[in-house]
Structure 1
């Protein structure tokens, strides 16, 4: 593949992923409101998990194309970028307050999923049974979230009954279909371009997965979080990142392992996992002790992310 074609593949893949992710979230949100699904589940599944669809399709495409370091690097790099880059930018734009009540549940899930994913990658590998365990953990988290949030959501809906959106059902379905098509084809183009770039430049696949692919597939989270922060809805910005990171580990690694078992070695199984765990621990510490992310915290997050990228460039 020529340099021009490689650049076109990467650019087209990123564009399709962003457009497809946004279309998918818009269609799913409209359909959920039309069907009267709880706002809690809309925020958790559609916003947090829906924006992780590009990571899912990209990692699966990479695994099927025998590029395991891009598949796993995409997940690790996305989780690092979600916390240090995206939450850093969102907090710098407007400080984010954190509700301690739901965070006890979601923070625990974030910690457990990060440790489980890191342990599997470092010591076991992504065998099919590991994937089944991770997906079971995701199902348990969703069930607990629904059960613990059901009463609160019912009270909110009783106080302010939800209204069905105007328009036709086929519009939401069209957005869903276009979104799935965009992320699937975009993932394939992005992985092909990334593998070609890594080969041509002599750059390890892991570095490409941790940077270009990871940040590119995190753009839907970036758009959603910055938009929420700008409107003063910091809880949505924060929940989007926490939900995405949980889904990245339990859902994406779980599905990828079931489809194509992977073995990962080198930095991805060591230093990069360490960075992901450290970023998660820093976020948890600030959320528990400060219950907010200030502009100073945002600046620190961004500085740490810049140092992380610089360390890979100099390695």
Structure 2
């Protein structure tokens, strides 16, 4: 079920993006608008549908872990692969605005997790922030075409789709259906794995589900890197991380408010954020990995004006380390005993 869900999510996500982009081009919508909206939103649809399905099934750990894990995977895995394929030449000026928004969104996510602020009101606020960010970006880029506008336009140009309107709509609908059914298989299979092997649903969401829903970003970034447009891969990752936090968690909380805290029972997992009689589904280690991944990306992007292959290798090594720690394959001494 998990493998089938991953395949359907990947193929369906690709079909949804290509079909939508094709229709947009036939309607003479600019590549700038396509890159800012359809590509960014389209590659995040698998995460959105999966999180909605997980919340509807009562698997909050999978829903929230999916978003956090996807953002970690986008930076350490996807960006690492793209940089290893082709060094990424960065333009700090072009990245400043979107990177700033991504950092603020990441800090906001950490704040919301700590205080468990996933009410319907919070979902509305996040969704409004995303819409405001898109509108501001479109107006700013169209009124003053610069490096930022050029980068977003290139994001749209990386998608090869030139079908007729009818064929494009059909491909998009079939792709969306594939994503919806793939998300069902992925969530149901992940819940079964968690129960059968005694692994928490949050860990499954942070790893298997997150990697699976990040496949569209991985495909888009790898293709851009092979074509020598690795800077587009970086812009795509930044945009995807913003969409994941503001859009996916926003819409999910709007549709079905949830809590990331649960009553403390038995032994508390190492790194769990305990407050009173409840503990967060997301550990200190997960939050730390999210913040460190963003910090590494920003550091590598602004220091030498490029992210080289060795830096891509460090990102991949970091992801392997995170996976090892998450599945407890790497022993870590308890320097600070719990309690």
Residues of 2 paired with 1:166 and 1:16: CA distance?
A: 22
Q: How does 1:1-315 map to 2 (within 5 A)?
A: 9-152=1-144, 168-265=164-261, 266=280, 268-314=282-328
Q: Which moved more, 1:262-271 or 1:52-61?
A: 262-271
Q: 1:250 to 1:294 in 2, by over 3 A?
A: same
TM-fit CA distance, 1:135: 0.8
SS in 1 for 2:83: helix
How many residues are aligned here? Answer: 300
SS in 2 for 1:268: strand
Query: TM (normalized to structure 1)?
Result: 0.91
Query: TM (normalized to structure 2)?
Result: 0.85
Residues of 1 paired with 2:305 and 2:257: CA distance?
A: 39
Q: 1:267 to 1:66 in 2, by over 3 A?
A: closer
- Aligned-residue Cα RMSD (Å) equals 1.8
Residues of 1 paired with 2:110 and 2:33: CA distance?
A: 27
Residues of 2 paired with 1:27 and 1:301: CA distance?
A: 32
Structure 2, gaps ≥5 residues long: 151-156, 262-279, 330-339
TM-fit CA distance, 1:271: 2.1
Higher helix share: 1
Residues of 2 paired with 1:284 and 1:168: CA distance?
A: 40
TM-fit CA distance, 1:48: 2.3
Moved over 3 A (4+): 151-156
Residues of 1 paired with 2:233 and 2:39: CA distance?
A: 10
Residues of 1 paired with 2:109 and 2:255: CA distance?
A: 17
Structure 1, gaps ≥5 residues long: 1-8, 157-161
